[in-house]
Structure 1
Amino acid sequence: MDVKIARTAGFCWGVRRTVDKVMEVAGQADGPVVTLGPIIHNPQAVARFRDKGVGTVNAVGEVADGTTVVVRTHGAIRDELERAKARGLEVVDGTCPYVKYPQAIAQRLSEEGYHVVIVGDANHAEIKGVVSYSKGPCTVVKPGGEIPEIKARKVAVIAQTTCIGAEFERVVGALALRHREVRAVNTICNDTDERQADARALAREVDAVVVVGGKSSANTRHLAEICREIQPRTWHVETEAELDRAWFAGCKVVGLSAGASTPDWVVEGVAAWLRALP
């Protein structure tokens, strides 16, 4: 089987930076090392960190004294970081710089009196962190969801870094008709835009698409949704173990894309499985 891999498949710059930082800390720390939440949304990568002795906690209250805490790629809730510092814990900030941007924007615009609207998943770690930096009213609008009535003259709209651009535009446009002043700051990561464009182009050129990445990874799910709109024969898997030969009956060329938190070795495992098909 001929396999065509998207140019931007696999780790983005921000994720690779954080992963390298965790491995560096694990090799140098005198005591235990934990990440505050899964360092990235990929079970296979998290398992490898665990094998290296790096644990995962959900809150600072679970951390023992003398432990080094690494903040995951998606950032952390502001209060949690303050608790860690108040306890004197060693904190290594692995937050992706592209995630720090909406955090800073939410804080600044809320201080300027804007009601901050974030287009994203309220349950996602990144958005929980961004919300925690807002100093005033803040509303999270789910992509594709209803836009609630907001009683404010001044509204500022930002987005989850992995948001689909069309959803950001939809929310900004709707709010612009309702409020006297609407300020839009596009906080979508450049890598996300590029990766999604590559996925669209790939889906048009192949007989089927496999998108590889954690099932809890928002950017990976978006890639699968984008590809499926163009190529119905699109599957989202975490590893080659989930693939089924029947999916590719009659296919000559299969496209392969992967989320920003998918390790290269996982992508290669899927690619090798596909190439072995007759």
Structure 2
Amino acid sequence: MGMEVRIAKTAGFCWGVRRTVDRVMEVAGAASNPVVTLGPIIHNPQAVERMRAQGVGTVQAVAEVERGTTVVVRTHGAIRSELQAAKERGLSVVDGTCPYVKYPQAMARRLSGEGYHVVVVGDAAHAEVKGVLSYAEGPCTVVKPGGPIPEIDAKRVAVLAQTTCIGAEFERVVGALALRHREVRAVNTICNDTDERQADARQLASEVDAVVVVGGKNSANTRHLAELCRQIQPRTWHVETEEELQPGWFEGCKVVGLSAGASTPDWVVEGVAARLRSLPA
């Protein structure tokens, strides 16, 4: 008798990622010219590789793109100057930015224009945060989740969040800044899917003997899911595919929970679930 596998109802592609991936495949199928994505379309190596097999390439900068190529902006959005460069070169651009990412971009532009010092709670090295910062028209500060909150020389501060930020971290930063500055404007730009997915994962972790979180090792939201689950269920593992699963991890387990990041394709989740079910309980 194999182990029971409980899959979180929010496991796998979120609405925004599915929308972008479908758009890329639609463009690739209809285009007679080359199609590339500006950076990896999503943070999942298996999905990127499958697209490459369909003829969709990846570039890191518009300067690398040859004339006549269609450029697709990835789910995380792009730096404003890169979009401008594509426009100036006359390249065909398909905007695959998730609407939930466009919101913090718009708010960074608007609030900085109103004189606020913009603070983004997130990872400064992440493509989404780089894109959001590029829309600000004044000074910005990035506060890393769990990290120190620097002194900011401003009376008016506006706080935004990376869409995959953990809610408690956004709350911590807003609360700390509220005591330091005369005015703090908090705009919760955390994606609803992120909140729901994290709540599902926490609930699941409390009900099972072990948890497997599936998704790219370079996916911020997947790493956050694994961190949250590990706080509740220490036997939590983050894998990209079923090949990484080790039977020894599940000794004595009868029920295993399975969650997956927003950029994890359904077929990868199903592959991990099938392998788990084949392991002896």
TM-score range, shorter chain: over 0.9
Equivalence for 2:191: 189
Q: Which amino acid aligns with 1:6?
A: A
Q: Which amino acid aligns with 2:90?
A: G
Deviation string 1:170-218 (CA, Å, 9 cap, x unpaired) is: 0000000000000000000000000000000000000000000000000
Of residues 203, 206, 209, the one that matches 1:207 is 209
Shift of 1:40: 0.2
Equivalence for 2:236: 234
Q: Which amino acid aligns with 1:39?
A: I
Equivalence for 2:258: 256
Q: Which amino acid aligns with 1:277?
A: L
Q: Which runs of 5+ in 2 are unaligned?
A: none
Please give the residue correspondences for 1:100-111 in structure 2 after superposition, counting only pairs within 5 Å.
100-111=102-113
Equivalence for 2:200: 198
Shift of 1:272: 0.1
Equivalence for 1:66: 68
Please give the residue correspondences for 1:15-94 in structure 2 after superposition, counting only pairs within 5 Å.
15-94=17-96
Q: Which amino acid aligns with 1:19?
A: V
Q: Share of identical aligned residues, percent?
A: 83
Alpha-carbon RMSD:
0.3
Q: Which amino acid aligns with 2:153?
A: K
Deviation string 1:37-95 (CA, Å, 9 cap, x unpaired) is: 00000000000000000000000000000000000000000000000000000000000
Shift of 1:29: 1.1
Equivalence for 2:147: 145
Q: Which amino acid aligns with 1:70?
A: V
SS of equivalent to 2:119 = strand
Equivalence for 1:266: 268
How far apart, CA to CA, are the structure 2 residues paired with 1:30 and 1:86? 22
How far apart, CA to CA, are the structure 2 residues paired with 1:224 and 1:247? 15
Equivalence for 2:100: 98
Shift of 1:107: 0.3
SS of equivalent to 1:49 = helix
Q: Which amino acid aligns with 2:71?
A: V
Q: Which amino acid aligns with 2:4?
A: D
Q: Which amino acid aligns with 1:105?
A: M
1:122 maps onto 2:113 in alignment: no
Shift of 1:228: 0.1
How far apart, CA to CA, are the structure 2 residues paired with 1:89 and 1:29? 14
SS of equivalent to 1:140 = strand
Q: Which amino acid aligns with 2:206?
A: R
SS of equivalent to 1:83 = helix
Shift of 1:30: 1.8
How far apart, CA to CA, are the structure 2 residues paired with 1:235 and 1:102? 31
How far apart, CA to CA, are the structure 2 residues paired with 1:265 and 1:105? 35
Equivalence for 1:161: 163
SS of equivalent to 1:85 = helix
Deviation string 1:125-171 (CA, Å, 9 cap, x unpaired) is: 00000000000000000000000000000000000000000000000
Deviation string 1:100-143 (CA, Å, 9 cap, x unpaired) is: 00000000000000000000000000000000000000000000
How far apart, CA to CA, are the structure 1 residues paired with 2:151 and 2:206? 39
How far apart, CA to CA, are the structure 2 residues paired with 1:68 and 1:90? 5
TM-score (normalised: structure 1): 1.00
Equivalence for 1:11: 13
SS of equivalent to 2:94 = strand
